[in-house]
Structure 1
Amino acid sequence: MKTSMLATLICLSAPAFAQESLPVIRATSAKAAIYMQDRPGRRWNIEPAQKLDVFETPKMATQEQIRFKTDSDSIVFTLKPGTHKDFVVLLNDKDSCLTRIQSPALLDFSQQYPALHDTIPMYINEYNTMYIAAVLNGTDTLWLNFDTGSSDITLKEETIAKLKTPLDLYRKPYDLRIGTRHYTSPVFDTKLSGHGTEGRFGWNLFDGYVVELNYDKGIMVVHGQLPKAIAADKKYTRLPMHYIDNIFLVRSSLQQGKTKLPFWFLYDSGYQRTAMLDNDLLKETQFPAAQMKELNRVIMRDGRNKEIPVITANLEQLHLGNYTLKKVPVQVQTANKPLAGLNIHILGNEVLKRFNTVLDFQHNVVYMKPGRYFNDPYIVQKPGKS
């Protein structure tokens, strides 16, 4: 997960910002924190020697409440996408620093002409890895996983070593041709990727577009706007997106016995199993996880090759919008959470592949309807390491 954070500070005299009628908060320490809804706090340094202090939030689908907190004061306000809020931090009653928190505008390429409908062959293997062919820098054709749980381009270390063009990792943006269109992104490295792939690319390459994942036909289609046929199809259930630190979540429900609870789930096509449940979140909400029959215990690994011990247990029902999956072998993580600092559940591609899906990154909605894999049996791993 990557976020955009710019830090330049503007220092003004007290009379200057008084004329602007900006809110003023005080601090006796240069250490501060920024809190967004449903997110852990971000550390922030107040640096009077700089000129402009700008924090750019990750993408927000709707307005959100923001809190900026110093050691002795705080300010709370509501921020809409594409807007900003200015205020002054007065450090030790002498250094006056103008601070801005801004949100990026929502992208929308629906007015492009001619209308875009770019169709790309899409594949899924026995490990539930969904992947396509893409061309990096016009020279290297790579098999890449479309991983909605990540952003930008991430390539395996061994893949990077074999590229025809050397890369300046993390900094310089590179060209990635997917279908007939070109997208730009910095490149990051990783030790592992989905089975049979050389790396992955994230959802943000398609921000402002509409992406159709049709598992029945084996195609990905990048649309300039939501097709009318999809909007009119009553079989699709609609799940609004909620963004946290450049990943998006959808609302779904877990049910065991008479207990049915809604949760936010990371929509993660890069996770190959059904659903990974956060043990701390289950305890916090008093979900009766102990009633789920244990099937096995395995050790899984994330993209950094870090071990994640999980228990696989049988969940009675998983509800996604108007649809219900029954007797789902879910994974319960017991340590080394894949998303540090966040207690959230994760929907994986063994569930997601059961639906033909449309990801509308203009209106921030996921459309899902059952497809050819909806009633396929689930894979239950053998105990050990995966």
Structure 2
Amino acid sequence: MKNFNLLICIFLGCIINAQKKLPVVKANSNQMTILEVDNGFTTDWNADPNIKLDVYTTSKLDTEKKTIKIKTDIDSASFTIKKGENKDFIVLLKGKDSCATRIASLPPKNFSKARPPFHDTIKLSINEQNTMFVKTILNKTDTLTLNFDTGSSDLTLTRETLKNKIKSSLKSGSNALEIGNKIYKEFSIYPADLSGHGTEGRFGWDLFDGMIVELDYDKGIMAVHSQLPKEVKKDKSYSKLAIKYFNNVFFVESSIRQGKSINTDWYLFDTGYQRTVMLDGPMLKEQGFPVDSMKEIKRVIMKGAQGNEVPVITSGLESLSLGKYTLKNIPAQVLSQSRLVSRSRMHILGNEILKRFNVFFDFQNNVVYLKPNKLMAEKYIEQS
């Protein structure tokens, strides 16, 4: 019995020592920032000693590991985290209150070894406003026309739809969305004032995390695969673009040209944005790009997803390149004021450009494959 008690004491002592060895970040203010170094994503965070364990979940990792920086008003720390890993630390507030905090990286998803392999094909439609949509069923009850919006995540329904159409009971964490022959779960539902023309809401890319999604405008289909079809890698007409994740959406690299000036940056891949490309004018000016020399076509006030007003100037852009393909004489939307998203500025690729390519999204290896389709020569809406 004495030996048993001794082992218990040693065991408890090990736990206490392990807890004592947790990294400590000092703070006098409960306000702090968390920075994902690889993508520049910054989050405001409040240290709270009343929460048993406060968890910050990173964006999806497109590399094996990433560095996270914590900065308080008087201290800072860096952590390297791998896929599926957790890093715990203590924020010591005013020298007395311990705030247990965890940085969590979600385990990677990969359905490439699913047995049997799946290839689910759904009818894909696109209207004159560049909104692509499919028919879906929510909770086996509500038939909904939804936009596949790669610039969003989870499921978003318009307030009108939530109020007047949904008959099923919506419960957090237990909803199911049927798209084609597959049922998707583990998503959140958010309200919004607006959605793409003719749709009742939108679903994001992350429903397909770990899968392959195909958009073929020539055939009018959307397909979900467990494996990338072998012919895609063999087809030299596809251009291959790396994916970078930021705040649960994803970006690809693109270059724009005006005269002798070329600017290369990461662009939000946003099939839910109905125009060509939205450029952050002030950011481009800071980088020396001749925004003011672009010929103005028109000025409009646009509505954001939440009904907010955004002043936009449409100007002539000489060219935009995606991989090995270049589009010319594009009526681009140029913001006169930067639009901050999670404290970051960004450019956006919209579906007036993206619809001109048949696409494979490889959410297993974080790659986009695209090649021109029958819509490539179609006039832009502003030129029609």
Compute the TM-score of the two structures, normalised by the length of structure 2: 0.90
CA contact (8 A) 1:308 1:336 kept: no
Asked which structure has the greater CA Rg, the reply is 2
Q: Which residue of 2 aligns with 1:32?
A: 32
| 1:175 pairs with 2:179 | no
Cα distance in 1, alignment partners of residues 19 and 178 from structure 2: 51
Moved more, 315-324 or 97-106: 97-106
Corresponding position of 1:101: 103
Q: In the alignment, which residue of structure 2 is the partner of 1:122?
A: 124
Contact 2:43 2:342 survives alignment (8 Å): no
Q: Give 3-state SS (helix, strand or coil) of 1:286's partner.
A: coil
CA contact (8 A) 2:211 2:224 kept: yes
Shift of residue 338, structure 1, vs aligned partner: 7.2
**CA 1:19–1:104 in 2, change beyond 3 Å: closer, same or farther?**
closer
Q: 1:133 to 1:19 in 2, by over 3 A?
A: closer
Distance in 2 of aligned mates of 1:247 and 1:147: 10
Give distance in 2, aligned partners of 1:187 and 1:98: 29
CA 1:130–1:157: 2 relative to 1, 3 Å: same
Q: Is the 8 A contact 1:61 1:106 kept in 2?
A: no
Query: Which residue identity lines up with residue 121 of structure 2 in the other structure?
Result: T
Aligned to 1:284: 286
Distance in 2 (CA, whole Å) between partners of 1:204 and 1:175 is: 14
- The Cα shift of 1:161 comes to 2.4
Bigger mean CA offset, 217-226 vs 274-283: 274-283
Q: Are the counterparts in 2 of residues 173 and 187 from structure 1 also a CA contact under 8 Å? A: no
1:104-160 CA-partner distances (Å, limit 9, x unpaired): 122101111111100000011111111111111112211111000011111122222
SS in 2 for 1:225: coil
Percent identity of paired positions between Structure 1 and Structure 2: 50
Map 1:1-386; keep pairs closer than 5 Å. Answer: 16=16, 21-37=21-37, 38-62=39-63, 63-168=65-170, 171-184=172-185, 185-335=187-337, 337=339, 339=341, 341-380=343-382
For residues 84-123 of structure 1, give each alpha carbon's deviation from its aligned partner in whole angstroms, at most 9, with x where no partner exists: 2233333333334443212112210111111110000001
Give yes or no for contact 2:41–2:246 (8 Å, CA) kept in 1.
no
Q: Secondary structure at the match of 2:243?
A: strand
Distance in 1, matches of 2:344 and 2:18, equals: 39
Aligned amino acid, residue 59 of structure 1: K
2:188 is paired with a residue whose SS is strand
Task: Tell me the number of residue pairs that the alignment of Structure 1 and Structure 2 aligns.
Answer: 370
Report the TM-score when normalising by structure 1.
0.90
**Distance in 1, Cα, partners of 2:174 & 2:18:** 41
Measured at CA, do residues 368 and 135 of structure 1 come closer, stay the same or move farther in structure 2, by a change above 3 Å?
Answer: same
Q: Is the Cα–Cα contact under 8 Å of residues 147 and 202 in structure 1 kept in the other structure?
A: yes
Please tell me the root mean square deviation across aligned C-alpha atoms, in Å: 2.3
Q: Which amino acid in structure 2 is aligned with residue 53 of structure 1?
A: D
Per the alignment, in what secondary structure is the counterpart of residue 143 of structure 1? strand
Which structure 2 segments of 5+ residues have no match? 1-12
The answer to whether the 8 A contact 2:31-2:47 is kept is yes
Once the two structures are superposed, residues 306-363 of structure 1 have per-residue CA deviations (whole angstroms, 9 ceiling, x without a partner) of 1211000111110100100011110001247373532110000010010000011111
Give the Cα–Cα distance (whole angstroms) in 2 for the partners of residues 196 and 322 of structure 1.
34
